[in-house]
Chain A
């Protein structure tokens, strides 16, 4: 198998060939590692992959080959190499959240999403770089250095799932897992020119995802096309008794409708796409606006009705998010104290000093800043003014979405980000960095599903368009995304 063939090969094709017996899963894994070496995915290059073990992955591929038989089924992702963000627990490879405090930690259990991918035949080949504890929008806040965008090495991948996005964009894996709290799958997907999906809150089990902000955390998928993203989502979605927030809502067969979409002249006839004015402010990059207009024209040509809608509380999403997320983080990250979890600082005189030194040495500046911010907004005298107020405004933001979807809108279309990938080191002001999530954080606050798909290039850099649907309406979202992807064709990467 040629590396160049592998780099462009969809997961669905790899799985079909493995199932048909025309591709050895061991070869697929070898091609992934060869691509990783060619692209210099380690710290001396793109810095996308933190941990990998070719022997372990090859052994897993050999086991799959033996158990599925010469022409066995092997699962919907048979032999597909996948990458996993470093805050999702895997067996055999470290899970460090790109933090010094968890250096060397190997989980004794596995995340449900990873177990389900493996049950579908996928092979874990890499743990990917990320902003420390998923706190960031550029993957510059990693203890292991910034990830680099495969489209322009001087630029960020976006974050916090930047390593996963870059690994998919560079052709190292066709599918990767990421996680989202405010846009950490969709924003890097947009910056790297790939598809990124955040499901409904509760749709995918978070068991084994290191908690950052529990009411906002999601596991999501990244892929080079909508079909592969849907295939991966299908594999990991569904009830899990080990996650108390996991929802017992049937998972639709997302990919089944795709064939009929491809053969129908107006596949989106009868469907209404809402366009919220708040996501198209005057300051929006004109190039991004033009690409969004082109995507809306494509949706219109597919038979969809385009309707202007209002989500009036959108501008409040960032202040709300950056109160609630740090507040929850300050509680969730209390466990990293050198006793329950984390590398322990030695030579301290007391337990309290040990806690303080362990945490201050182990956490980087952004994590420290957010823990302090979260502790402040939860402390006596400030709780009502900040935390309680933010929770109430969150209700208003969720209400905006509920009203629009109840009013007959099936999906919303917006730009995913206000800009293309920025240069490494360009943004130093924390709040300016937080504003990268301005179009994505709303979906996390409301718990609705959303995804980013490539809609073109601006000055040579990828631009993403965002689709947002109502709770558990992933099937409609995928349907629109698939049709739009097909309609744009090669334009999506031009």
Chain B
């Protein structure tokens, strides 16, 4: 299950990271070295051993009723841009991308 350059490109895309061609070799090599140490797990018999649903032994469920969190400062003071009470985020796509038939960008 060696990690290839294509794998690195693919997972970088999934993780929203820009990875230049110059770094592909180094990253693939590092990931392969680390994952090589994980292969020992494949030899462990886990038949009949369920994965934990949460941290073992000590997770307690209760109603989600803590209510709103009071902020120490108004949200306008830490949001990059606000207008009419709304957070302004970068546009989802340029007109050029849409008119050239490119794929629509995912929403944030």
Contacts and interface: CB of A to CB of B under 8 A. Distances in A.
B57 A471 contact: yes
B54 to A, nearest CB: 6
Contacts of A323: 38, 41
Interface in A222-261: 241-242, 244-245, 247-248
Nearest to A336: B16
Given A241-B66, A379-B11, A388-B51, A319 B58 contact: no
Contacts of B77: 108
Given A379-B11, A391-B51, A316 B44 contact: yes
Interface in A318-345: 318-320, 322-323, 330, 334, 337-340, 344
A390 B19 contact: no
Given A351-B92, A389-B41, A376 B56 contact: no
B34 A431 contact: yes
B40 A344 contact: no
Interface stretch (A167-175, A274-282, A367-375): A367-375
B83 interface: no
Interface range for A: 35 or more
B15 A322 contact: no
A8 interface: no
A352 interface: yes
B89 A339 contact: yes
A351 B87 CA distance: 16
A342 B20 CA distance: 21
B30 to A, nearest CB: 6
A108 B75 contact: yes
A339 B108 contact: yes
A447 B58 contact: yes
A472 interface: yes
Nearest to B71: A108
Nearest to A391: B51
Contacts of B33: 429-431
A446 B19 CA distance: 35
A322 B38 contact: yes
A244 B38 contact: no
B19 A360 contact: yes
Interface in A392-448: 392-396, 398, 402, 429-431, 434, 445-448
A488 to B, nearest CB: 31
Contacts of A388: 51
Given A352-B16, A373-B34, A320 B41 contact: yes
B80 interface: yes
A351 B56 contact: no
Contacts of A334: 15-16
Contact of A369 (B30, B78, B91, B94): B30
A369 B27 contact: yes
B18 A402 contact: no
Given A109-B71, A319-B40, A350-B97, A337 B19 contact: no
B42 A389 contact: yes
Given A352-B16, A372-B17, A244 B64 contact: yes
Nearest to B59: A245
B103 to A, nearest CB: 9
A351 B78 contact: no
B17 A247 contact: no
Interface string B66-108: 1001111101011010000000011111100100000001101
Given A394-B51, A447-B57, A109 B72 contact: yes
Q: A-B pairs with the 10 shortest C-beta distances?
A: A391-B51, A356-B18, A398-B56, A392-B46, A241-B66, A355-B16, A360-B18, A108-B71, A375-B11, A375-B15
Interface of B: 1, 3, 7-8, 10-12, 14-19, 27, 30-31, 33-35, 37-38, 40-42, 44, 46, 49-52, 54-62, 64-66, 69-73, 75, 77-78, 80, 89-94, 97, 105-106, 108
